[in-house]
Amino acid sequence: MSSRFLISLLLFSLSYICQAFSGDWMVHASKLKEKLATINQIESEIEKNIEIKNTKKGSESAAALDLIVEKHKELKKAFEEYNKIRNHIRFEHPEQGDSTERNYRNVRLKSLEEFEDAVGIYGKLDRIQRKLKKVYNIEKPKPKAMAPKKKEKTDLDTEVPSVTLSVE
């Protein structure tokens, strides 16, 4: 009877310990998902402000530009926190961190130029052009080597012979 009690007590304590450790991991995993959602939200706000900057003129454009710079600073901070939590899970909880590595999503900090290219009309045109080149296997035309143009002589373009004078 006592051995059954000890075994059940041992199993209960082990399950409690496992829950405590997994709870810590679960907290970090939820923070990781929260930071990822924050990063996505900030990126969408930056893209929205870039569209406003491109369509509006004057003070609205300047205000949107200020918001873009401010949001990019927030994005840098959120990205650093995301990497910190991700590395913590990866190295402090390797058995659980292994599952997060399998569900890999490339999260990297984008520069403001990349946001501008992604949102603007030129960015959209560039993406369409790349897709067309990929689908239809179009190569860039190579510039042809051009021979130098020969200058035609006219009445006004007569050459004056050079004369060297020497004094003796």
Query: Where exactly are the structural domains of the chain?
Result: 2-140
Q: Which residues of the chain have pLDDT under 50?
A: 16, 18-22
Record the tokens describing residue 124, joined without a space: 């959209």
* Amino acid letter, 74: E
Number of H helices, E strands in the chain: 5, 0
CA distance 29 to 89: 8
pLDDT digits (tens, 9 = 90+) for 38-78: 999 999 999 899 888 888 888 988 999 899 999 999 999 99
CA 35 to chain CA centroid, Å, is 16
Tokens 């510039």 correspond to what residue?
143
pLDDT at 41: 94
Q: State the CB neighbour count (10 A cutoff) for residue 42.
A: 19
Record the tokens describing residue 101, joined without a space: 């590595």
CA distance 43 to 24: 29
pTM: 0.53
* Eight-state DSSP code of residue 163: -
Phi/psi for 123 (5° steps) reads -65, -40
pLDDT at 21: 44
CA distance 168 to 113: 72
